[in-house]
Amino acid sequence: MEGNKNTFNRRDFLTMGSLSLGAIGMADFSFATTGAGLHTNRKKIIIPTVTGYVTPDKLGTTLMHEHILWFSGTTNENPGYMPIPDDLQDQSVDFAVSALNDAARVGIDTVVDLTPHRSIDLYKRIAEQTTVNIIVSTGFYRRSKIPQWMAEMEDEKQMEELMRKEVTDGIDGTKIKAGIIKVANEGGQLTDWEKKVFRAAARVNKSTGVPIATHTGSPMEQFDLLLKSGANPHQVFLSHVDVGRKGKPGDLLNVVKEGGYLQVDTFGQEFYTPQKELVSFLRSFFDAGYGNRVFISIDSNWHWENGKKIFEGAGPPNFDPNAANRLFAYMITDAVPMLLKSGFSMKEINTFLTDNPRNFFKRIK
Ligand SMILES: [Zn+2]
């Protein structure tokens, strides 16, 4: 276990404790036969994945905030965003499949993808080659980093209809539905445009029951606006909330007290959050009785630049030598051992990775 990534596998993990990893497999999948399925069918909550539906009980070990594919580089016409070039698509699919299969080998069952503007065809190709459940998102990332046609959308109703269509009918003419709504703000206060996105997302959540995940620049403002606009607090989670907190939850305790969820993903990224602070931040929620309101994930993301894969943190100003290792499996090979060493029990880790995602999708209050 001592940092030896190559030999740490699912079996080692299982023998370490009582973490109840869900079975890897596709036994519970049933394909949608009509396009009419909402997030629920009266009695049973079902969650759409790229290859079918899954019930919350079958989610297993779940990473709630990941990016299977990310956009690529920048262009003058569209600063901040460029789709994956045609000639790199096959390689992108192969790399994503290998990362997901590595994740499956160490016991990860489900990955929630929070890239809300992607080629669904590539995701379909990827999902067909792995046992990991992939839940995709609709919504809007930061305005500076999304396709131009989305960034130029000004009509709140139109934003709402786009998200509603992707959770109820399907994405880009397919029957693949989004199982979660992703919204974001650049940092600081929400802009007027971002407020429209958040209000629209809240209305879609209210009418469909599909949950919301945010990229957080202004967590309290985000949470308040979502609730004020009709979102269910038990179906909202705010990401990256440990950054800049010096290990203290502060006003974020109000979010969990109101039933919201928080998500932490800076494992191995000392430049974002010193790992000691990350540990005390997580511990503080258990101490306050809200360990059941926190997710842990990797927020793995990489993109192509001049034909090379660039991993977040690998470039200036951070130069993190570990950046390329931070794919989905990193949760089990590195983050979990770090948490165990820092005093977390397997039961607590299981709460983060399995119980909380299941309860979130099950809408348990
Ligand atoms: Zn992310």
338 closest CA partner among 287, 248, 273: 273
Which CATH number is 266's domain given? 3.20.20.140
Domain containing residue 348: 5-362
CA of 106 to the centre of ligand 1 (A): 22
285, with CB counted inside 10 A (0-12, 13-18, 19+), is buried
CA of 156 to the centre of ligand 1 (A): 23
Centre of ligand 1 to C-alpha 15, Å, is 31
User: By three-state DSSP, how is residue 13 classified?
Assistant: helix
What is the pLDDT tens value at each position of the chain, 365 positions in all?
Answer: 333 333 344 444 444 443 433 333 333 333 333 333 445 545 689 999 999 999 999 999 999 999 999 876 655 555 677 888 899 999 999 999 999 999 999 999 999 999 999 999 999 999 999 999 999 999 999 998 888 899 999 999 999 999 999 999 999 999 999 999 999 999 889 999 999 999 999 999 999 999 999 999 899 999 999 999 999 999 999 999 999 999 999 999 999 999 999 999 999 999 999 999 999 999 999 999 999 999 999 999 998 888 889 898 888 888 888 899 999 999 999 999 999 999 999 999 999 999 999 999 998 87
Q: Please tell me the distance between residue 214's alpha carbon and the centre of ligand 1 in angstroms.
A: 9
> How far is the centre of ligand 1, averaged over its atoms, from the C-alpha of 298 (Å)?
9
User: Measured in angstroms, how far is the CA atom of residue 216 from the centroid of ligand 1?
Assistant: 10
- What pLDDT is stored for residue 43 in this prediction? 63
- What's the 282 CA to ligand 1 centre distance in angstroms? 19
Q: Which alpha helices (H) appear in 73-127, and where do they start and end?
A: 89-105, 120-127
CA-wise closest residue to 329 among 84, 96, 29: 96
92/25 Cα distance (integer angstroms): 23
Report the relative pairing of strands 40-41 and 44-45 from DSSP bridges: antiparallel
pLDDT of residue 72: 66
Q: Nearest 5°: CA angle at 108, between 201 and 241?
A: 45
How close is the Cα of 42 to the center of ligand 1, in Å?
Answer: 32
Looking at the 3D structure of the chain, how many domains does it have?
A: 1
Cα of 364 from ligand 1 centre, angstroms: 25
Q: pTM of the entire structure?
A: 0.89
If you measure from the C-alpha of residue 327 to the centroid of ligand 1, how many angstroms do you get, rounded to a whole number? 12
- The CA distance from 150 to 183, in Å, is 13
Q: Ligand 1 centroid vs 264 CA: distance in angstroms?
A: 11
Q: How far is the CA of 43 from the centre of ligand 1 (A)?
A: 32
Neighbours of 123 (CB within 10 A): 23
